[in-house]
Amino acid sequence: MDKRIPNLAEAVAGIPDGATVMIGGFGGSGAPIELIHALIDRYLATGSPKDLTVINNNAGNGHVGIAALIEQGMVRKMVCSFPRSADPRVFTEKYLAGEIELELVPQGTLAERIRAGGAGIPAFYTPTSYGTDLARGKPVAEFDGRPYVQERWLKADFALIKAELGDHYGNLTYRMAARNFSPLMAMAAARTVAQVTRAVAPGGIDPEHVVTPGIFVSGIVEVANPAQEEALNRAEAAHPPARPQEVQA
Amino acid sequence: MTTKLSNAQIAWRAAQDIADGAYVNLGIGFPEMVAKFQPPGRQAVFHTENGVLGFGEAPPAGEEDWDLINAGKKAITLKPGAAFFHHADSFAMVRGGHLDVAILGAYQVAQNGDLANWSTGPKGVPAVGGAMDLVHGAKRVAVITDHVTKDGKPKLVEACTLPLTGVGCVTRVYTSLAVVDIEDGRFVLREKLATISLDDLQAVTGARLHLDGAVGDLVVPEL
């Protein structure tokens, strides 16, 4: 078994129009920038994939990563808890113009819905959102005298995540708080591709340290020295980068 | 003479009620100040929803590691004994009743403990984050807030008029004028600034303040 994918273009090649894609990261921490940009490059070259439903905690920041995906018009719907950021203009403008749908989910409910999707649990009950606008239309049941809201699992066709170490079997470790949603998304997607900062041979990760076992991972692609969304935004980067003649025009 | 507490002083007062060894979540923004005022000899462990227990202060400018941030997406540092975990574990800590206290901001708090702190209405892009999760599960949910809005309207009210974050979830409110508990669907006044009369405090409170024994003086240091 060898789950290594030779390059980013191949890593995102199978994602069709209309796919539901979970993208790891909380803000810039854990955002798989190179995989997202490879998806954008494919769209710019071929016109596909479009009409995506994207699941992430946020809705992009600046003009890179998820914001750039939205800016290109590739995203039909965002499922997230907090579509605001330091520079949320790309999402905000499309949302206010009615060009993108939003399903707003409380953060812990979002995490648990994804976990449930990965664990084969179609629905669960939570106190979160009971009695609020976000519980409208959802079944409520009482357990031990307290009311709870029924929430359904969330699954995806693909998950694109960022990890630190990945071995050829797809076992993964993460770096600090960049872990966030990625282990859950890896479970909940039919096909999960991880960009890893370093690919290692089986045995290169101590089994005691594996966070995401390889059974949840379809492929890894090595991206040494990955870009950090926050750093890109501080440098006012965009994807694709503006070409000089465009700037002059 | 103090006519009302500053945000730092409200945060200081809230910090005095956090026990040594408590697991604490502080809401984004103003509540983050509470961490600065831990009484000497006590050490709380701070939780941030994106997956860190035991974080410390912000690093100096230029030394940020953007994989190490808090729920407000600000750079943080780690204390010895810190732990990382994924989001489902993080919210299991929140909703499973494992946090001792969550301290949050508020637009409005109602006398039955209802909290409105995530939305001021239907305009713009709605965003909720972890607010609705945090109000459930912590053993104590406290609010720190100015006693009134910027245009002088009460924030402690009979019933919230803004969209709710949670129902019957708040147990104590630390304001710029008073410390108020929520018990059996009523506001119970515990402390107030010595410089404000009970009548004047009631006049800027949107629901009846009940008394249960002596009302203490709300005393805080200059900060």
Which of helix, strand or coil describes residue B148? strand
Query: What are B176's two structure tokens?
Result: 């710029």
- For residues A102 and A83, is the Cβ–Cβ distance under 8 A? yes
Query: What's the confidence (pLDDT) of residue A243?
Result: 63
Tell me what pLDDT residue A244 has: 57
Q: What are the chain A neighbours of B130 within 8 Å (beta carbons)?
A: 81, 106-108
Provide the pairing of β-strand B115-116 with B78-84. Answer: unpaired
Residues from chain A contacting residue B133 (CB–CB below 8 Å): 106-109, 128
Instruction: With beta carbons under 8 A apart, name residues in chain A contacting B69.
Output: 26-29, 177
Residue A245: per-residue pLDDT: 56
Question: For residue A17, what pLDDT band results from cuts at 50, 70 and 90?
Answer: very high
Contacts of A195 (CB under 8 A, 6+ apart): A8, A11, A32, A34, A35, A160, A161, A162, A163, A220, A221, A222, A223, A226
HEC per residue, A51-98: CEEEECCECCECEEHHHHHHHCCCEEEEEECECCCCCCHHHHHHHHCC
Domains and CATH numbers, chain B: 7-217 (3.40.1080.10)
Q: pLDDT per residue over B10-59, tens digit each?
A: 999 999 999 999 999 999 999 999 999 999 999 999 999 999 999 999 99
pTM: 0.96
Return the amino acid letter for B173: V
The CATH architecture that domain A8-122+155-240 belongs to is 3-Layer(aba) Sandwich (3.40)
Q: What are phi and psi of B178, to 5 degrees?
A: -160, 165
Distance separating alpha carbons of residues A30 and A174, to the nearest angstrom: 8
pLDDT band at B122 (very low <50, low <70, confident <90, very high): confident
**What residues contact residue B120 under an 8 Å CB cut-off, 6+ apart?**
B107, B162
- The rounded distance, in Å, linking the Cα atoms of B46 and B42 is 13
Question: How far is the C-alpha of B126 from the C-alpha of A144, rounded, in Å?
Answer: 32
Query: Does the distance separating the beta carbons of A179 and B51 come in below 8 Å?
Result: yes
Q: Specify the pLDDT at position B2.
A: 60
- pLDDT tops 70 at residue A247: no
Is A109 in contact with B133 (Cβ distance < 8 A)?
yes
Q: How far is A134 from chain B (nearest CA, A)?
A: 9
B112 close to A (CB below 8 A): no
- A209 Cα distance to chain centroid: 23
Task: Convert B42-108 into a string of H (helix), E (strand) and C (coil).
Answer: CCCEEEECCCEEEECCCCCCCCCCCCCECCCCCECCEEEEEEECCHHHHHHHHHCCCCCEEEECCCE
- Of A85, A111, A134, nearest to B91 by CB-CB distance is A111
Give yes or no for a contact between B174 and B142, defined as CB atoms under 8 angstroms apart: yes
A130 CB within 8 Å of a chain B CB:
yes
Chain A nearest C-alpha distance from B149 (Å): 22
When pLDDT is cut at 50, 70 and 90, the band that residue A248 belongs to is: very low
Token digits for A139?
């079944």
Neighbouring-strand partners of residue A219: A193
Instruction: Say which of B49, B84, B163 has its CB closest to residue A179.
Output: B84
Task: Quote the ipTM score.
Answer: 0.95
Q: How do the domains of chain A map onto residue ranges?
A: 8-122+155-240
Kindly report the average pLDDT of chain B as a whole number.
Answer: 96
Contact between chains at B130 and A108 (C-beta distance less than 8 A)? yes
- Give whole-number Cα distances, A201 to A128, A167, A172, A224, B5, in Å: 42, 5, 12, 16, 60
Best of A128, A134, A142, A184 to disrupt the B interface (most B CBs within 10 Å) is A128
A139 touches chain B (CB under 8 A): no
Q: What is the pLDDT of residue B67?
A: 97
Alpha helices in chain A (DSSP H): 8-11, 33-46, 65-71, 89-96, 107-119, 182-188, 229-234, 244-248
Res. A180: pLDDT tops 90: yes
Q: How far is A46 from chain B (nearest CA, A)?
A: 32
Choose the weakest-confidence range: A47-56, A224-233, A235-244, B78-87: A235-244
| pLDDT reported for residue A110 | 98
How many CB atoms within 10 Å of residue B22? Answer: 18
Helix (H) or strand (E) holding A132, with range, is none
Angstrom distance (rounded) from CA B189 to CA A163 = 51
Range A196-219 average pLDDT: 98
Q: Do A29 and B69 touch (CB under 8 A)?
A: yes
- Residues of chain B contacting A181 with CB distance shorter than 8 Å: 86-87
* pLDDT given at position A134: 97
Please say if the pLDDT value at position A249 is more than 80: no
Window from A103-117, A207-221, B118-132, B160-174 with minimum mean pLDDT: B118-132
